[in-house]
Amino acid sequence: MTRFIDAHVHPPIRSFLEGPIAPFLDDLRSFLEEPIVPQSPDQIAEFYRSRDAKAVLLGWNTHAKSGQRSLGNTDIAALVEHAPDVFYGFGAVDPSGGAGAVAGIHQAARLGLSGLAFHPASERMAPSDRESRQLWETATEHGLVCLIHTGFTRLGAGVPGGGGVGLEPARPIHVDRVAAAFPGLKLILAHTGPLWLDEAIAVSVHKSNVHLCLSGISPKAMSPELLELIRGALQNRVHFGSDYPFGSPDSWLAEWDSLGLSDEVSRAVLVDNVAQLLAR
Ligand SMILES: [Zn+2]
């Protein structure tokens, strides 16, 4: 039986570490307990398989604005094909990419991916920007789940000018407008919007097409209000993610277990809610 689904994994393959994340990697190291070393697809699959777990692998695409190589739809599809018993895949398009981005969404659907991942801070564009409208329309048409990174990012943190990365596009309230305009689109607020946790909670309580991913908040730091929502109003729309390799599923789960939540709530957060979200 699947013990957990990690719904937020950035596959640490060499092309990701030496590609889109490369400009930030040195600065990120100061936040990490262990250095990130490149892994093969087999190693990542085995990491999860040995824990009776599955993982949602996220693409990354800021190519149109940064010129950086992306971890795109075909890369993610190849990883899923490598270990379909363990991996789900979310592709990525750069929202600034115009017609190319829309074509990328059709491609993600053709490749059988489950969704798309966005990182507004590094894309330097808010999800509510008019330029993105056609993307949400196309994702809705294909039933692709859209995961949006929200809140504080460690990318560019601690360096002058934050490496050019602005935090504002990652406000959860920008996702609220998208959720309102596209009620048929399933959206995930990743990281619970640190800096704007209240906003992330309000948006997900208010819009039933918005799900909350707990990556980015450690269980011991969860407020009584958030825990109450996890046990109540958001019980079917909140789920676990670790942000691996920037976070560790093992330490998160150890803290989670110490909270003493019921088996029913725990099972919903760790497995059932994501499984349902990904079922098409
Ligand atoms: Zn992430």
- For 10-22, the pLDDT digits (tens) are 999 999 999 888 8
Closest CA to 75 of 63, 214, 66: 63
CA 240 – CA 161 distance, rounded (Å) = 32
Ligand 1 centre to CA of 260 (Å) is 27
pLDDT digits (tens, 9 = 90+) for 100-142: 999 999 999 999 999 999 999 988 999 999 999 999 999 999 9
Question: Which residues form the domain of 174?
Answer: 4-278
Q: How sure is the predictor about 67, in pLDDT bands with cuts at 50, 70 and 90? A: confident
Exposed, middle or buried, 110 (CB in 10 Å: 0-12/13-18/19+)?
A: exposed
pLDDT of the residue at 251: 95
Query: Residue 81: pLDDT above 70?
Result: yes
Q: What is the CA radius of gyration of the chain?
A: 17
Q: How sure is the predictor about 280, in pLDDT bands with cuts at 50, 70 and 90? A: low
Average confidence score pLDDT of the chain: 94
Ligand 1 centre to CA of 133 (Å) is 23
Ligand 1 centre to CA of 8 (Å) is 6
pLDDT of the residue at 263: 97
- Mean pLDDT check: name the lowest of 154-163, 223-232, 244-253, 257-266: 154-163
Contact 60, 16 (CB under 8 A): yes
Cα of 159 vs its chain's centroid, Å: 24
What are the backbone angles phi and psi of residue 49, rounded to the nearest 5°?
-60, -40
Query: Residue 230: pLDDT above 70?
Result: yes
Ligand 1 centre to CA of 110 (Å) is 24
Q: Per-residue pLDDT averaged across 235-259, rounded?
A: 96
Ligand 1 centre to CA of 156 (Å) is 14
- Mean pLDDT check: name the lowest of 63-72, 90-99, 212-221, 246-255: 63-72
pLDDT of the residue at 33: 74
Ligand 1 centre to CA of 206 (Å) is 24
Full-model pTM: 0.95
Per the document, the length of the chain is: 280
Ligand 1 centre to CA of 264 (Å) is 27
CATH of residue 190's domain is 3.20.20.140
Ligand 1 centre to CA of 122 (Å) is 11
Closest CA to 115 of 73, 65, 169, 71: 73
Q: Per-residue pLDDT averaged across 218-230, rounded?
A: 94
Ligand 1 centre to CA of 149 (Å) is 6
Residue 100 to residues 61, 93, 95, 113, 244: CA-CA distances in angstroms?
12, 8, 9, 18, 29
Q: Per-residue pLDDT averaged across 135-162, rounded?
A: 92
Pairing of strands 115-118, 87-91: parallel
Ligand 1 centre to CA of 2 (Å) is 22
pLDDT of the residue at 55: 98
The 3-state DSSP class for residue 252 equals: helix
Please state the domain count of the chain. 1
More confident residue, 199 or 68: 199
Q: Per-residue pLDDT averaged across 216-230, rounded?
A: 94
Q: Per-residue pLDDT averaged across 178-199, rounded?
A: 94
Ligand 1 centre to CA of 71 (Å) is 13
CA 185 – CA 211 distance, rounded (Å) = 11
Ligand 1 centre to CA of 17 (Å) is 13
More confident residue, 160 or 3: 3
